[in-house]
Structure 1
């Protein structure tokens, strides 16, 4: 509270805040006090105000984003707010100070325009700082990971987008803070930015929770297309029916800031209208070095595409992606009719002998462990599948560790462990999912699901090495990588 008072803030008193722990509340107040300090410093810095004026950021937009300025000095913030050990500790814990080898504490952000990063409740949790001159160090400097800030889960500008729309029509993902601010300045008020990191699965989930249509805007060079592919990998497993993703690649030397200044909102919207749909980008990228005129090329495309398509949720989009792969390669075309297959035990138990609905392996394993935590006794670490880059894998590993280390834990206690987390609603649904058969059948299904996930690890490594070949050529692989690839191709899958 003292930190807040030093910059003229009133300490908010509401029910939500009372529910937070004392330390958590103090950390939020510390970051908010720093934001107010930076905003005050902006008013006293002609060069920072001149920079924003040159970039066309008016007073309304400065206020909307809470833009400030970190003074050029080693102890500006420290002198203003960190005058005793407790306050120093709070400010250091939220990433506003750095330490040298001698243990001296100094301001992390110096002579930078400051962009506060807000969480989903509008609270300041971190900062991004941009240099005023080109030669003054890294262009952007971001807060480190802190108890309040996890960069892979937050999007700059999302709070402002939410304030501008009762229902968000679309989200545009750009790379820089100034891109977001510039787009808002010109009336494109649906832009957000990742925070110095590639688009993560958490980002993808957050984007689609707020809008059904998501546009990713990248440079058209190799690095930009690589970033776009990483975004696609995070988005693809979340492409439920009704959701759409597009990719817009900008001309060399351009960014959203420069484009919107030259062409205005209408010009930028026209470019978005020409953006590449996810499905088209997916098959174009995987087909780049493939000769689809021959069977070998078709087989290669199928080998690359099938593991990724398998991660798409059941629905029309999945069916259409499979159909497109079949059109391009012939793989998946219906074989001539054969004798009906005798139902297997796992197919029995549903009405009329029909096969049970297809479930993803990860969801199956999680649902089984939720409903019968003692099934974990059949699974011994280490978990080879833990390295898979699939949605739900970190959650599955966490769940396995939880139930193994707490023998006798109940389903209710497991759900309580995940209370207030983003995964909670999905876990509650999975806890009610029906499985036929007795406990022995459940155990067999769990072991089988995890074994199949283990086998996917080899395919993932093959895909990684093939992606590297596409990037640097076969000659760019080390001898160890070449030998590894030969072994993986020779191994049964």
Structure 2
């Protein structure tokens, strides 16, 4: 894929109302020229998230989240860069340059199409199968849920899907690559899923990337069969039902992690539209990050048996290193032999909600589990618990939650927990002096109003000044001339790898005094002063050189020009 031209990105973002993009997902409140909200990327009590319509960028003073409309969609809607660009281009009514459209070099477009076709095939088979429909009716799954989750049926026999979709070698290759076919020892391809209720697994854009299949009868093989790992599907990174949850909520209040596909469907059908399921695997670190990126509150719901407890502890190990302040995790254990599907059917949505609201906190479950088989009424037992807890505390991020967990360990055992690591102090900007200076003033004005960069044509007389930040100022000016329509957000983005990027961010967010109409004159006055300083600096150099070793003919002419009155 050819790189998207910078001019296209500049033009695209100039046509987009960032306040509208963010405002449909996060409740914004007008605050002067800007808008504020509680940050959607971390949990907080008071708003530290700022959206600037004039500069077309957002910034959170709490967690540091920042960027343009593109980065917001990438982080909030979990889109790829090109997906976010396509979404915004469609909204703005402009075409992406043909030579920059993603080429199907890896065959992913064809793979998505093959999986979507497979999903449509299974849905048609369900409509034609009395046996499959009867099973779903017995399980209480209604037509609305079947449609919302795209539930289908893989027919009996080895050739249903391959006969319908694998009409040539290329199509069969795609079905095999996406995990829809298996191969026998003699090389014969056949349907992987047979006589199973089929649950399509969707990615963050709602595209089918895999399937889970459930048997209709207990003796028909493994209860659940999932797609194997493919170029599109990695089970440790995906959550069944997350796409449906995101369609039901602009901002997800909490996520309930359950174990089965039917649990998710049943909870949704009863109005509990925050359920997701891991895909036949324990909760992974990727799952944990995905969960908390979508909601600050996560409830893990497991069977109360030995297997359920083991799964819960796996979840604890995955989430503890990600328990930044504001995030909360809870653990709900159901009676043996029960699951969310059966509970919600017998107790209703209110009964299940009551159980969720009474779930154990992470801290309670953590200390309860590690205290098993430990005699806390003895010094030896307290020492054993402290040794078991400390390694977990060391893996937790610094913050109030870690401090409180450490205090709890101390209150239970009398032993101090893991020492809190002091956060590294941010290095001061190398090039920009913290004091007020002409260079700092010009850089601030350029960030606040990039159009000012057009007022001065290169070559820049001030470029050789021996002043802190002059190199950065010149680089900003050159960027503004190369991209005359660039916004503040994109100008910052262009310098994201620069050592002074944190300082640039602060200057861009500075509340400038005075009216914007006088900024142009202030800018031109500052440039004029810098040019005079550059002239004086060059005069000093030439005079010193003349006194020490003499000047060349060209330098003599330059000195004469500099000595002429302006």
Identify the TM-score tier after normalising by the shorter chain. 0.5 to 0.7
1:309-324, aligned counterparts within 5 Å? Answer: 309-324=393-408
Tell me, in whole angstroms, the C-alpha distance in 1 between the residues paired with 2:222 and 2:272: 27
Q: Secondary structure at the match of 2:333?
A: strand
Superposed CA offset, 1:223-260 (max 9, x none): 11010000010011111111100000000110000000
1:311 Cα deviation after fit: 1.1
Tell me, in whole angstroms, the C-alpha distance in 2 between the residues paired with 1:192 and 1:93: 26
Q: 1:147 aligns with which of 215, 231, 234?
A: 231
Q: Is 1:223 aligned to residue 307 of structure 2?
A: yes
Q: Is 1:131 aligned to residue 215 of structure 2?
A: yes
Q: 1:163 aligns with which of 247, 250, 256?
A: 247
Q: Does the C-alpha gap of structure 1 residues 257 and 431 become closer, same or farther in structure 2, counting only changes over 3 Å? A: farther
Tell me, in whole angstroms, the C-alpha distance in 1 between the residues paired with 2:111 and 2:230: 10
Q: Is 1:21 aligned to residue 104 of structure 2?
A: yes
Aligned match of 1:258:
342
Tell me, in whole angstroms, the C-alpha distance in 2 between the residues paired with 1:358 and 1:222: 39
Superposed CA offset, 1:425-469 (max 9, x none): 9xx7999899xxxxxxxxxxxxxxxxxxxxxxxxxxxxxxxxxxx
Q: 2:185 aligns with which of 73, 96, 101?
A: 101
Aligned match of 2:152:
68
Q: Secondary structure at the match of 2:332?
A: strand
Q: 2:410 aligns with which of 319, 326, 333?
A: 326
Q: Does the C-alpha gap of structure 1 residues 358 and 103 become closer, same or farther in structure 2, counting only changes over 3 Å? A: same
Tell me, in whole angstroms, the C-alpha distance in 1 between the residues paired with 2:400 and 2:269: 38
Q: Secondary structure at the match of 1:331?
A: coil
Superposed CA offset, 1:275-312 (max 9, x none): 00000000001010111111111111111101101111
Superposed CA offset, 1:373-428 (max 9, x none): xxxxxxxxxxxxxxxxxxxxxxxxxxxxxxxxxxxxxxxxxxxxxxxxxxxx9xx7
Which residues of structure 2 form unaligned runs of 5+? Answer: 1-82, 88-95, 425-492, 503-566
Tell me, in whole angstroms, the C-alpha distance in 2 between the residues paired with 1:221 and 1:51: 27
Aligned match of 1:79:
163
Tell me, in whole angstroms, the C-alpha distance in 2 between the residues paired with 1:334 and 1:151: 34
Which residues of structure 1 form unaligned runs of 5+? Answer: 1-11, 336-354, 360-424, 435-493
1:209-288, aligned counterparts within 5 Å? Answer: 209-288=293-372
1:418-437, aligned counterparts within 5 Å? Answer: none
Q: Does the C-alpha gap of structure 1 residues 429 and 356 become closer, same or farther in structure 2, counting only changes over 3 Å? A: farther
Tell me, in whole angstroms, the C-alpha distance in 1 between the residues paired with 2:263 and 2:334: 13
Q: Does the C-alpha gap of structure 1 residues 271 and 431 become closer, same or farther in structure 2, counting only changes over 3 Å? A: farther
Tell me, in whole angstroms, the C-alpha distance in 2 between the residues paired with 1:35 and 1:129: 12
Tell me, in whole angstroms, the C-alpha distance in 2 between the residues paired with 1:358 and 1:329: 27
Tell me, in whole angstroms, the C-alpha distance in 2 between the residues paired with 1:114 and 1:129: 5
Aligned match of 2:10:
none
Aligned match of 1:33:
117
Q: Does the C-alpha gap of structure 1 residues 104 and 247 become closer, same or farther in structure 2, counting only changes over 3 Å? A: same
Tell me, in whole angstroms, the C-alpha distance in 1 between the residues paired with 2:183 and 2:417: 62
Bigger relative contact order, structure 1 or 2 (CA pairs below 8 A, ≥6 apart)? 2
Tell me, in whole angstroms, the C-alpha distance in 1 between the residues paired with 2:138 and 2:161: 26
Q: Does the C-alpha gap of structure 1 residues 61 and 304 become closer, same or farther in structure 2, counting only changes over 3 Å? A: same
1:114 Cα deviation after fit: 0.3
Q: 1:116 aligns with which of 180, 189, 200?
A: 200
Tell me, in whole angstroms, the C-alpha distance in 1 between the residues paired with 2:326 and 2:353: 21
1:19 Cα deviation after fit: 2.0
Give the total of aligned pairs.
336
Tell me, in whole angstroms, the C-alpha distance in 2 between the residues paired with 1:123 and 1:310: 39
2:204 and 2:243 in contact (8 A); partners too: yes
Give the TM-score normalised by structure 2: 0.57
2:155 and 2:195 in contact (8 A); partners too: yes
How much is the aligned-residue C-alpha RMSD, in angstroms? 2.5
Aligned match of 1:180:
264
Q: Secondary structure at the match of 1:296?
A: helix
Q: Is 1:58 aligned to residue 142 of structure 2?
A: yes
Q: Secondary structure at the match of 1:19?
A: coil
2:155 and 2:196 in contact (8 A); partners too: yes
Q: 2:423 aligns with which of 358, 383, 387?
A: 358
Aligned match of 2:175:
91
Superposed CA offset, 1:51-102 (max 9, x none): 1111111111101000000010100000000011110100000000001111
Give the TM-score normalised by structure 1: 0.65
Q: Secondary structure at the match of 2:423?
A: coil
Aligned match of 1:422:
none
Q: Does the C-alpha gap of structure 1 residues 327 and 48 become closer, same or farther in structure 2, counting only changes over 3 Å? A: same
1:334 Cα deviation after fit: 12
Superposed CA offset, 1:158-204 (max 9, x none): 00000001111100000000000000111111000000100000000
Tell me, in whole angstroms, the C-alpha distance in 2 between the residues paired with 1:200 and 1:102: 36
Tell me, in whole angstroms, the C-alpha distance in 1 between the residues paired with 2:417 and 2:120: 63
2:162 and 2:191 in contact (8 A); partners too: yes
Looking at CA atoms only, which structure, 1 or 2, has the larger radius of gyration?
2
Q: Does the C-alpha gap of structure 1 residues 46 and 124 become closer, same or farther in structure 2, counting only changes over 3 Å? A: same
Tell me, in whole angstroms, the C-alpha distance in 2 between the residues paired with 1:208 and 1:191: 14
